[in-house]
Amino acid sequence: MYKNILMRIFNLSFFLVLGLCFVVSALQFAIFHKLPSHIEDMLKTSEVVTFTENRDYLSAMDEVLASKRYVYAIYGRMRLVKVYDTNGNYICSIAVKDTKSGAHNMRGYIVDDKLHLVFDQQIYEFTDNVLTKTYTGKEASAWATDLFVNRAKYQNKLDGERNWYYLKAQSIYRTNANDPESVFLARSPLYLAFDRRAPIVLIALLFVVYLIPGNLLQKMK
């Protein structure tokens, strides 16, 4: 009798767990990955905002890129790039707006030593961190596809002195022939909780936890 009651409760709780998974995923966008409100206000009237306020954000760094003189920390879902010189000094931040699709899927590429921030139907080109050209329409869409397909070529991580930059546990590391590995920019690994894959991992864990009592109930006499 008690087993049947517990099994009914367990089966009904499936929908609770499923709803919780969707809530967790939605909170990732509703609460985190947010630009400061004054920057969002500026983006209402401008496609690109460059500012020098150096702060950390409740978001995971998606990738790191390098040109000859600069290192770029890319926050794709925030549509934000933090720019550093090759000595690790913070220079500025660049926030952009996707006016065509409204998506939060910004990617970064280095083409001809210039930073390109790419959406599905819009591309921003920067020279020395200044916007110099914007591509839209079919031209942007075709080029965005080509950049993604050939991303191994365009996601450059070498600076002008042949230092190689890479992302590990939300910190940026640098290596070269003389220095096996050094921390270029330290960041807590706890920021992995805001990674784009975090909701998927959490959903998987919730379902594993959900299945444990079910298996125990099946073994009850």
Mean pLDDT of 103-120: 88
For residue 165, what are the CA distances in angstroms to 50, 95, 115, 125, 157?
Answer: 23, 22, 16, 21, 5
Assign residue 170 a region (left: φ > 0; alpha: ψ between -120 and 50; beta: otherwise). Answer: left
Write the pLDDT tens digit of every residue in 16-59: 666 766 776 666 666 677 788 899 899 989 999 999 999 988 88
Query: Domain-by-domain residue ranges, the chain?
Result: 2-31+201-219, 37-187
Q: What pLDDT is attached to residue 100? A: 62
Q: What pLDDT is attached to residue 198? A: 57
Q: Which amino acid is at 204?
A: A
Residue in this structure with the two tokens 């921030």, named with its chain if needed: 117
Write the pLDDT tens digit of every residue in 169-188: 999 999 998 888 899 999 98
User: Residue 77: which of 143, 31, 134, 121 has the closest Cα?
Assistant: 31
Q: What pLDDT is attached to residue 203? A: 64
Beta bridge partners of 127: 130
Mean pLDDT of 100-120: 84
Write the pLDDT tens digit of every residue in 133-145: 999 888 888 888 8
Residue predicted with more confidence, 73 or 2: 73
For residue 95, what are the CA distances in angstroms to 74, 113, 141, 142, 192?
Answer: 10, 20, 21, 23, 21
User: Residue 110: which of 51, 151, 142 has the closest Cα?
Assistant: 151
Mean pLDDT of 87-111: 85
pTM, rounded to two decimals: 0.79
Helix, strand, or coil (residue 190): helix
Average pLDDT of the chain, as a whole number: 82
Distance CA 204, CA 215 (A): 17
Percent of residues, the chain, with pLDDT higher than 90 = 44
63-67, 193-197, 210-214: which range is least confident on average?
A: 210-214
